[in-house]
Chains A and B, each alone.
Chain A
Amino acid sequence: MTGQDGIVTRLGAQNSVEAPTRRAGDRLGAFLSALRPQEPTSEAPAGATPEPATPGDRGASAGVVGLETEYGITADGLSADEAAREMFAPVVAWGRSTSVFTPAGARLYLDLGAHPEYATAECSTLAELVAQDRAGDALVAELGRAVDRRRAAAGRPPAQIAVFKNNSDSVGHSFGAHENYQVTREGAAALAAALIPFLVTRQLVAGAGHIEVDQRGARYVLSARAGHVSETMSSASTRARPIINTRDEPHADGQKYRRLHVIVGDSNMSQMATRWKFGATSLVIAAAARGARLPRMELANPVRAISQVSRGWREPSPLELVDGRTARPASIQRAYLEVALEAAETAEDAAVIGLWRKALDAWDLGDFDGLETQLDWLAKLRLIERYQERSGAALEDARVARLALAYHQLGPQGLRGRLEASGMLTRAVSPWDVARAVLEPPPTTRARLRGRFVARARAAGREYSVDWMRLRLGDAPAVTVADPLDSFNAAAEQLIAGLKPASGRRARAVETKAELDKIMDRAADAVLAEGV
Chain B
Amino acid sequence: MEQIRKADLPPRADDDAPAAPVLRAPQTQTQMIDSLLDEIDEVLEDSAEAFVRGFVQKGGQ
Contact = CB atoms under 8 A, between A and B. Distances in A.
Interface string B8-40: 111100001011111101100110111011011
Sort chain B's interface into a size bin: 35 or more
A386 interface: yes
A382 B25 contact: yes
A176 interface: yes
A363 B18 contact: yes
B56 A170 contact: yes
B47 to A, nearest CB: 8
B45 to A, nearest CB: 7
Interface string A384-398: 011100110000011
A112 B61 contact: yes
B37 A390 contact: yes
Interface string A346-385: 0000000000000000011111110010000010011101
B52 A418 contact: no
A191 interface: no
Interface residues of A, number: 77
A328 B61 contact: no
Contacts of B18: 316, 328, 330, 363-366
Interface stretch (A56-64, A319-327, A445-453): A319-327
Contacts of B58: 80, 112-114, 173
A415 interface: yes
A427 B37 CA distance: 21
Given A72-B57, A314-B20, A328-B18, A386 B37 contact: yes
A94 interface: no
B23 A382 contact: yes
Given A112-B58, A115-B60, A406-B40, A386 B20 contact: no
Contact of B44 (A318, A399, A419): A399
Q: Which of A1, A365, A401 has the most CB of B within 10 A?
A: A401
B42 to A, nearest CB: 11
A314 B21 contact: yes
A117 B54 CA distance: 21
Q: Which one of A372, A398, A402 has the highest number of Cβ atoms from chain B below 10 Å of its Cβ?
A: A402
B10 A366 contact: no
6 contacts: A113-B60, A238-B59, A238-B61, A367-B22, A391-B44, A406-B44
